[in-house]
């Protein structure tokens, strides 16, 4: 089998974002575009010859085509073995699980997460290191540097492999093993949670749930575990067949895009529990009957109830949250006497803390929660964690959350997304906002006085690496916050995210609509950043 080197020229737009390289499918379909980036990954790594690589993706359009290219290039570059999910399917947390279980050198995950899929929609590729987590910035920076100088890539001349049949085959001297996509992940979940208690809950006459997989990757996982191992009624999992275009939907589990589930959970005779996951399975949304749990509150409740779950019975070392995530979990950690770390957005920042044994549980406000069982956020893990809590406490979702507020206080919290903002407008907004920071301290806006204003910088406590310009923060003397960030997960234009938070310790004032409770802060955010004037948007695209 011939190994050939194909001459190529660099592309200047292959800089990875917070979760790898994401572009529209037609961009990846350009001659040599995918190949350049894959070769740049391999050229940036040392010591992988003869080692094992894990490959899989969320099943979106172009997934299968890309995997065949990656397999042939891995063989040409000297990998000894590739583990690939059946049908090319591996959820992001499952890929992390497989990398860790089989001591693989690393993995390539094909996903654009919660972004739409289809021939004209989004595609993505990222590299995960041997701990199962996303490549740190020093690795992604090296990959990007290589993309700017690459002159050729290696690939074997071979026919495509059958990805649908379990078993092994060879590409040159490299072994390719097609593995069951679900088995390893399901076994891990069973080791972490009390499946007997959850099974009793799911088979009881007075409990009903709905799991919406949004025609994305978690469908097979949810069906196998919920309807199979846990004996939930058939039909508990809806939209459970992964489709290349996610059925024409937007695989983002929030109140806007998971509208069918939201309508069900806020309708008459709503199920007791509802959940959704995203395109690649690493995000989650949790709902009770006529009740939405914010991701920040979900993390805080999970930490406060960790002792009820088998995987955390020995106690938790500490917790971590991304900077824009609400400080609700900080209050739980303080009461528990454990450390709480504040990191930039991006799961890779949690990896060092987990590997060093500093944290057990972590989460982001962007519907991502997880633990040290893998090195990615994990949507189904969060669903099982909630089911385990419900099974033990025998209360409703709403009762559990409101009791939590009565103990710790409520952090009113909301995120306003302005999607598809013209990039120059978004950059101008952030640039002008940064220029104002030094003069904001002490200024009064209505009932609020600015206590601090900065651009978040993070020094990793494990390796000492520094990440700057991670989000503009404006803190007020009463503990309220406004945070502004430009997201790195989109493929066109820019997404401005505005995070608003206010703490309310008085239980008699904890039942307001968050948009009402945060109303004055919302107006202040626009006043300070001139959002409407500079973006051209009168209202946010998505409010969560």
Active-site residue set: 113
Coil/strand/helix, residue 490 = coil
Residue among 75, 107, 74 nearest 173 (CA): 75
> Measured between alpha carbons, how far is 110 from 127 in angstroms, rounded to an integer?
9
Report the half-sphere exposure of 223 (CA within 13 A, side-chain side). 16
- The answer to whether the beta carbons of residues 322 and 345 sit under 8 Å apart is yes
Burial grade of 197 (CB within 10 A; 0-12, 13-18, 19 or more): middle
Residue among 363, 378, 387 nearest 296 (CA): 363
**Phi, psi dihedral angles at 522 (to 5 degrees):** -60, -45
> Measured between alpha carbons, how far is 455 from 270 in angstroms, rounded to an integer?
43
Q: Which two tokens stand for residue 50?
A: 């003869």
Residue among 485, 492, 498, 488 nearest 420 (CA): 492
Report the half-sphere exposure of 20 (CA within 13 A, side-chain side). 26
Question: How many CB atoms neighbour CB 321 within 10 A?
Answer: 29
Ramachandran area for residue 474 (φ above 0: left; ψ -120 to 50: alpha; else beta): beta
CB environment 295-317: b (16+ within 10 A), e (fewer): bbbbbbbbbbbbebbebbeeebb
Q: Report, in angstroms and rounded to the nearest whole number, the Rg of the chain calculated over CA atoms.
A: 23
Q: Which two tokens stand for residue 107?
A: 């993995």
> Measured between alpha carbons, how far is 81 from 100 in angstroms, rounded to an integer?
15
């Amino acid at each position: 089998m011939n190994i050939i080197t194909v001459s190529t020229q660099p592309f200047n737009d292959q800089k990875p974002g917070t979760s790898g390289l994401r572009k529209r499918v037609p961009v990846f379909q350009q001659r040599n575009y995918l190949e350049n980036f894959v070769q740049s990954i391999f050229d940036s790594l040392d010591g992988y010859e003869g080692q094992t690589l894990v490959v899989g993706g969320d099943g979106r359009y172009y997934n299968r085509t890309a995997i065949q290219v990656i397999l042939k290039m891995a063989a040409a570059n000297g990998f000894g073995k590739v583990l690939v999910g059946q049908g090319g399917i591996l959820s992001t947390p499952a890929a992390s699980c497989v990398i860790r279980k089989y001591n693989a050198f690393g993995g390539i995950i094909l996903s654009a997460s919660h972004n739409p899929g289809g021939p004209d929609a989004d595609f993505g590729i990222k590299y995960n290191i041997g701990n199962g987590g996303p490549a740190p910035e020093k690795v992604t920076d090296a990959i990007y540097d290589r993309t700017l100088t690459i002159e050729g890539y290696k690939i074997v001349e071979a026919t495509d492999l059958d990805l649908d049949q379990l078993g092994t085959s060879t590409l040159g001297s490299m072994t390719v093993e097609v593995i069951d996509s679900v088995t390893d992940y399901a076994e891990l979940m069973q080791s972490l949670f009390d499946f007997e208690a959850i099974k009793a809950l799911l088979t009881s006459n007075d409990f009903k749930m709905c799991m919406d997989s949004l025609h994305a990757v978690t469908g097979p996982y949810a069906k196998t575990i919920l309807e199979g191992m846990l004996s939930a009624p058939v039909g508990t999992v809806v939209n459970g067949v992964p489709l290349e275009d996610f059925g024409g939907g937007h695989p983002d589990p929030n109140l806007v895009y998971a509208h069918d589930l939201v309508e069900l959970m806020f309708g008459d005779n709503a199920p007791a529990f509802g959940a959704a996951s995203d395109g690649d399975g690493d995000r989650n949304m949790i709902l009770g009957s006529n009740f939405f749990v914010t991701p920040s509150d979900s993390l805080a409740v999970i930490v406060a109830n960790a002792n009820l779950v088998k995987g955390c019975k020995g106690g938790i070392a500490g917790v971590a949250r991304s900077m824009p995530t609400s400080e609700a979990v900080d209050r739980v950690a303080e009461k528990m006497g454990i450390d709480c770390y504040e990191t930039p957005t991006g799961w890779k920042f949690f990896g060092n803390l987990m590997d060093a044994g500093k944290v057990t549980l972590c989460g982001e406000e962007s519907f991502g929660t997880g633990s040290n069982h893998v090195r990615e956020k994990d949507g189904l893990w969060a669903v099982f964690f909630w089911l385990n809590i419900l099974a033990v406490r025998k209360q409703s979702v709403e009762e559990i959350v409101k009791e939590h507020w009565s103990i710790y206080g409520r952090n009113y919290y909301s995120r306003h997304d302005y999607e598809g903002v013209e990039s120059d407008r978004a950059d101008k907004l952030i640039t002008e906002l940064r220029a104002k920071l030094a003069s904001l301290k002490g200024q009064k806006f209505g009932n609020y006085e600015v206590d601090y204003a900065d651009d978040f910088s993070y020094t990793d406590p494990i390796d000492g690496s520094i990440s700057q310009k991670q989000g503009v923060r404006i803190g007020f003397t009463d503990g309220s916050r406004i945070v502004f960030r430009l997201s790195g997960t989109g493929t066109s234009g820019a997404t401005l995210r505005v995070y608003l938070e206010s703490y309310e310790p008085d239980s008699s004032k904890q039942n307001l609509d968050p948009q009402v409770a945060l109303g004055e802060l919302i107006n202040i955010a626009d006043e300070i950043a001139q959002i409407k004037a500079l973006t051209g948007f009168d209202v946010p695209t998505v409010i969560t």
